[in-house]
Each structure stands twice: as C-alpha cells, then as structure tokens.
Structure 1
C-alpha cells in the first residue's frame, strides 16, 4: 500500500482577514484615539464599537500602538495620493504646475483627515518615536520628495532655476502651513475659500519670483 509523501497542510488559525472588518476597526479606533489619545484609548472599547473581539483587533494589528500607526497611515494616505506626482506635471509650465500642486495640497492639508492625523501624532511626540518617524516618512517627506522631483525636471527644462530642489519644495509647501493651518489644528474657524485662493496665488508668485528662469 502506497502512502503519499506530500505533507498535509496545517489548518490555519482563525478566520481569513476581512477588509470590511478591518475598516470597522480602523474607524472605531480613529474615534477613540481622537477622543482619548493613544495612552487612554481602550482596545476593549474599540473592539466593542467595531463589533469584533479584542483578540480580532490584536490578530489584525498586533498591538494598540500598531493600530494607532495604522490609523495615522490611513488618514495620511489621501493627502499623499491627492498631490499630483512629478510625472503628471509639465516641466515647461511651472506656474500652472505649482498652482495645481498648491491648490490640491492646501485643500487636503486642511482637511479633517490630515489635521486629525497631525493632532494624533503631536499627542505622542517623544513617547512614540517610531510612529512619528513613520508618519513623517509616509506623509511630509513623501510629498516634499514628489514636488522636488518636479522641480528637478523644470530645472533641467530651463523653466526654473532650482539649485536645491528639496529645500525649494520645503519652502513652497511651508507657505501653506501658516495661521490658517494652525487654526485648523486648534479646531478654530477655518479660512474662507477666497483667503485660500489669495494665499495660493501669492505663494506661487513669490516662488516664481525667487526661482523663475
């Protein structure tokens, strides 16, 4: 009698991960972290609100800190994805490109997702360096890098004179992080759309005056 030498697969523990269930956990966690912060947020309460067990939360995310990081990443992703990439912009038309980048960045950076992520990360600054480092890398550093890549292309095309693209990108984006941004972080009255448009036009004018060919 012959026996098969193929090893029998070991049964997997637990059920396969469900994207919808993961989304419910992230949404519940976001509300709890916003209200209580990382330290005081309770995984049992998050699990109950999401309609899952505490063990399911840990099976999906590993720890409360990892869940917090997943929430921050989830809220940061739309901001990064919403900023036009370097390849999609015409290096021969830097003023139009900067208007497009600035308008999208301004709208997204002042949205609830980005502001909520910043408030959450500021609350754990110093205590959770890995989370802060991951947020910076996935968000501000990536957006700055995308803009710097476009500025290099415009410099090569002769439409801008940019010796240090990363520094120039940082300066441009920083012009949108003033009083209106601070008001958003503090949950105060946000700037009117006319104020945002005026800021955008002035930021592009100043940048082109400094770096225009």
Structure 2
C-alpha cells in the first residue's frame, strides 16, 4: 500500500532529526547542514524546506523529546501511575546508555552557541516542567493531590527522579541499569504522591 505524501514527509523529518542527533553528539556545532542532509538521506533543499537552521533543528529535537516524556500526562490514570510512567520515560531519555551521547552533544553546543542551548532548554526541559506543573494544578483542583506551588514541585520531581543522571551524562560515567531505573521511577512516584497527598488521604 502506497504511503500518503504526509507520511513520506514525516519520515523525512524524522530522518533529519535522527541524523542531527547523531552528528551533534559526535561533533557539536561543527556539523554543517549539508552533512545533516547527507546522513539523513535527503537533499539540501528538502532539509531547508523543513528547518532553516541548526537552531531550528535543535529546537525540534527538544520538542520531540519533551512530547515523548510528558505523554503520560494525557492519560486519566491515577496520579501515582502517571508519575511513575513519566519518571520511567524521563530516566530512559536521560540515563539510558544509548541516549547519553545526545545529552553531551547539547552540552557541547552550550558554550559555542548559547542561543541554541537556550532554545533547547525552553523547547525541551522547561516546556516539560510547565506541562507537568499544569497537570499538578489540575490534579490539585480535582482533589487528587495537594500541590501549593506546582512549578517548584515539578522541578523537585524531576530532581528526585534523575538524581545524578545529568552529571553522569556530562562525565561519561556508567548510568543506572534498567532494573534500577524502574525501581527509581516507582519509588519517586510513591514518595511524591505521599508528600503531596490531599488532607483527607493523609488522615487515613
């Protein structure tokens, strides 16, 4: 069955982002747009039709990662289940050995191109925090949690989950394994929900 044009275009965009992630991780900003196009298997014109600069590519990569991580927030599961799923995705994206090189690539860019680093932060981590904070506000209004300051709580949850994950990525030392990531995700969700339980649940 032939693919629709939209499906083909989406595949090309994914190929571009995958190629950019690999190249940025290896060499930072020294990579040219032409190299990204070549590794992605697309023409320069196709690349520029979608992204007019490396900044736009980096922003798109950050949005893609953020959307994947916060996907559980769109479900109607109980808070502990949602937070465990989000925590596990966060750990997989930051602490999985196959993902660490991408994190280091972004860090390499931060010195030479602070505007790209800022764009990546705003489109990725900051956007994720804002979406989590909005979800925490919704859960508080619904009486499922009691979170007085959702923005601070969102950032604290991220720190509780990741621990030294970012530091390990920067220093290129071994990350926690899959079994420990799962345990960490469950325990972080449990602790967070216990800390921000509504008053009626604390009284039980």
Bucket of the pairwise TM-score, normalised by the shorter protein: 0.7 to 0.9
Question: How far is 1:107 from its partner?
Answer: 2.0
Deviations 1:69-109 (A, max 9, x none): 4045336514423423544234xx32222222222222233
Query: Is the Cα contact below 8 Å between 1:79 and 1:108 reproduced in 2?
Result: no
Question: Could you say what the CA RMSD is over the residues aligned between the two structures, in angstroms?
Answer: 3.2
Residue number among 44, 54, 76 corresponding to 1:89 in the alignment: 76
| Alignment coverage as a number of residue pairs | 191
Cross-structure match for 2:3: none
Cross-structure match for 1:171: 156
Cross-structure match for 1:155: 140
Distance 2:183 2:13 in 1: 41
User: Is residue 2:57 matched to residue 1:70?
Assistant: yes
Cross-structure match for 1:35: 26
Which structure's residues are more often helix, by fraction? Answer: 2
Distance 2:147 2:164 in 1: 27
Cross-structure match for 2:94: 109
Gaps of 5+ in 1: 1-17
Distance 2:101 2:15 in 1: 18
Provide TM-score, normalisation by structure 1: 0.70
Cross-structure match for 1:200: 185
Question: How far is 1:27 from its partner?
Answer: 4.5
Distance 2:132 2:10 in 1: 32
Question: How far is 1:142 from its partner?
Answer: 1.6
Cross-structure match for 1:13: none
Distance 2:86 2:14 in 1: 29
User: Is residue 2:172 matched to residue 1:187?
Assistant: yes
Distance 1:25 1:128 in 2: 20
Distance 2:41 2:71 in 1: 37
Provide TM-score, normalisation by structure 2: 0.72
Question: How far is 1:163 from its partner?
Answer: 0.6
Paired residue secondary structure (2:194): helix
Question: How far is 1:25 from its partner?
Answer: 5.0
